Amino acid sequence: MPRVTLISAFDRPYEQAVAAARTCYSGGGIVTADQVSGVGQSLEKQATRAEQRDRIAHSTFKAGHHTTLQHGHVSFGLDAISRHFVWSFLHSHPFYNSEQVSQRYVEVKPDRVTVPTLPEPAARIYRACVERQMRDYRDLIALLEPVAAAEYGQVFPARGKNIDRWQGAIHKRAQEVARYVLPVATHTYMVHTISVLTLLRYRRLCQEPDTPTESRLVVDEMCRLLFERDPLLRKLEVEPLETTQATPWLKAPSDLAAHKRFIAEFEQDLAGKTAALVDRFGHNERRVADAVREVLGLPRDALSDADAIARALDPAQNPLLGEPMNTTVHQKLGRSLHAAHYAFKKRLSHAADSQDQRHRLTPASRPTVHAYLTPEPDFVTPRLVLHAGGEAARRYQQSMAETWQAIGQLRDLGVSAEWQAYLLPNAVTIRFTETMDLAALRHKHAMRLCWNAQEEIWQASVDEADAIAAVEPEIAQYLLPPCGVRHRAGLRPYCPEGDRYCGTPVWQLERSAWRRVL
């Protein structure tokens, strides 16, 4: 069962929201929560204040004036929740902050997995599949470690002379790839901080298609703990969830021929890439240049397009870009980058997309994974597995085949698509279109073009930068990894990763020379 703990919460968020609302119309300064509740006044005045407080709370809430509820935040500890729930619900929007245990760096324990209550023999098939996936994970780590060690020795020749000393780093690279066979039912734990408004939205959305049972359990407990802290928030509840119009339940695709045509169309648009540019604003370079000139109050004959773009995007001219604070959306020149927009079709594994979606300003049309409950396996194979070949590749392929076979057995037994989906591996293919402005894209590339970034996201970022370079070279030249940004900004050391340095002086390389296995 999921475990939810309340770590911290703002005091009196209901009355703070009303105080914020009243401040908007206050001629006497900032209104406090004590003034809203009538602290220190007679019981009669407190009753009058309470009536006024609730009237304001209800009227603003029903009118959709919800920003007042964002002044109150709450932090939860969430444990024994599935990766599927995190991807499909908690991280599917921009208004949160999570610090989550990493499958890349922390080895998964065999019993850390969601197991639903199913009738026999479905329960036996489910448990057997999970146990086998966990064995495949451990065995693949062992099979991949020698290959990872050889690659590590080539990247770090000096370390290769005493490779045993670096076994911990090699083990992590092997387990990062081996996790692709784990089910999305695998547990995670995190600190999750949201506003009161976001929690109330969770409550309304917990009947959406993905993982409704788990989401309802977790969200109900989050609300219970917060309402226990501030019972007044219950006054903001509208009609019970049972009477609302929930999104229709999405099942596994019944028209498999149509689903195959969808995949064929999508793959044709990708043309063999991980990410393909499918649309953009016309004249993006001119749009950005005009925005920069508007910030500076200069005409076109005083500042060329190339020079204007450099003012905003070149770390040598905009040194704030070289700092780790990411002030792009706060600085005036940085906001000029919102003028350019892009749309990319992307193909990532569930594991990679779980990290890609953490870039909150690059929203995407992510699917329900029920659409991938097809008889035929549909998955991504990591580079290290392809590079290893032999027994590692055979075992990986076999694991995928057996997982989809188990899902098919559950389907034949009438198990709901909801619980079938929990057995899908981290490797399952996720296809979507992601949109973003240049400000969000630049920051994403400054993080994910790093050679320490997850392999698929790194490749998608390379594909994105290449695609933009083909049509907008003035912009693309400034889409750089963190070391490249710092190099142009004149900041040392060029690599900001310290002892996590990837071993390759990427800032010296042309993008055409970028290659990596680890």
CATH number, domain at 11?
Answer: 3.30.1360.170
User: In which band, very low, low, confident or very high, does the pLDDT at 281 lie, cut at 50, 70 and 90?
Assistant: very high
Asked whether residue 267 is assigned to any structural domain, the reply reads: no
The reply to whether 163 and 88 lie within a common domain is no
Q: How many domains does the chain have?
A: 3
Task: Using the predicted structure, report yes or no on whether residue 306 has a pLDDT greater than 90.
Answer: yes
Mean pLDDT (whole number) for 80-103: 94
What's the N-to-C CA distance of the chain in angstroms? 36
Mean pLDDT (whole number) for 221-228: 96
Mean pLDDT (whole number) for 448-457: 94
Six-digit token string for 300:
């076109």
Predicted confidence at residue 284, as pLDDT, reads 97
Task: Using the predicted structure, report yes or no on whether residue 111 has a pLDDT greater than 70.
Answer: yes
Mean pLDDT (whole number) for 394-413: 97
The reply to whether 296 and 373 lie within a common domain is no
* pTM to 2 decimal places: 0.93
Looking at the chain, the whole-number percentage of residues with pLDDT higher than 90 is 78
In angstroms, the CA 209 to CA 18 distance is 34
Predicted confidence at residue 374, as pLDDT, reads 86
The reply to whether 318 and 456 lie within a common domain is yes
The reply to whether 336 and 450 lie within a common domain is yes
In 10 A of CB 493, how many CB atoms? 11
Residue 154, SS3 per DSSP: helix
Domain that holds residue 320: 279-346+432-513
For residue 13, with 0-12 CB atoms within 10 Å meaning exposed, 13-18 middle and 19 or more buried, which class applies? buried
In angstroms, the CA 236 to CA 353 distance is 35
DSSP H or E segment with residue 80:
strand 73-82
**Bridge partners (DSSP) listed for residue 349:** 429
For 142-183, the pLDDT digits (tens) are 999 999 999 888 888 878 777 888 888 899 999 999 999 999
Predicted confidence at residue 233, as pLDDT, reads 94
Mean pLDDT (whole number) for 219-226: 96
Least confidently predicted of 137-151, 196-210, 282-296: 196-210
Predicted confidence at residue 163, as pLDDT, reads 82
The reply to whether 377 and 502 lie within a common domain is no
DSSP secondary structure, 501-517, as one string: --SS-GGGS-GGG----
Mean pLDDT (whole number) for 400-425: 95
User: In which band, very low, low, confident or very high, does the pLDDT at 239 lie, cut at 50, 70 and 90?
Assistant: low
Average confidence score pLDDT of the chain: 92
Q: Which of 382, 405, 429 is the last residue of a domain?
A: 429
Measure the CA dihedral 412/416/421/423, to 10°. Answer: -60
Q: Which of 387, 414, 429 is the last residue of a domain?
A: 429
The reply to whether 295 and 441 lie within a common domain is yes
For 473-508, the pLDDT digits (tens) are 999 999 999 999 999 999 999 999 998 898 899 999
The reply to whether 167 and 57 lie within a common domain is no
User: In which band, very low, low, confident or very high, does the pLDDT at 468 lie, cut at 50, 70 and 90?
Assistant: very high
Asked whether residue 298 is assigned to any structural domain, the reply reads: yes
The reply to whether 15 and 44 lie within a common domain is yes
Q: Which of 429, 452, 471 is the last residue of a domain?
A: 429
Predicted confidence at residue 30, as pLDDT, reads 96
Task: Using the predicted structure, report yes or no on whether residue 298 has a pLDDT greater than 90.
Answer: yes
Predicted confidence at residue 155, as pLDDT, reads 86
Residue 364, SS3 per DSSP: strand
Asked whether residue 236 is assigned to any structural domain, the reply reads: yes
The reply to whether 170 and 201 lie within a common domain is no
The reply to whether 376 and 486 lie within a common domain is no
Least confidently predicted of 219-223, 257-261, 409-413: 257-261
Is residue 284 within 8 A of residue 341, CB to CB? The reply is: yes
Asked whether residue 115 is assigned to any structural domain, the reply reads: no
Predicted confidence at residue 438, as pLDDT, reads 98
Mean pLDDT (whole number) for 334-351: 97
Predicted confidence at residue 241, as pLDDT, reads 47
The reply to whether 22 and 89 lie within a common domain is yes
The reply to whether 204 and 314 lie within a common domain is no
Instruction: Please name the residue that has the structure tokens 């993982």.
Output: 211
Asked whether residue 127 is assigned to any structural domain, the reply reads: yes
Q: Name the H helices within 324-454.
A: 332-335, 350-356, 383-388, 390-412, 417-420, 438-448
Six-digit token string for 143:
């099979």
Mean pLDDT (whole number) for 52-78: 94
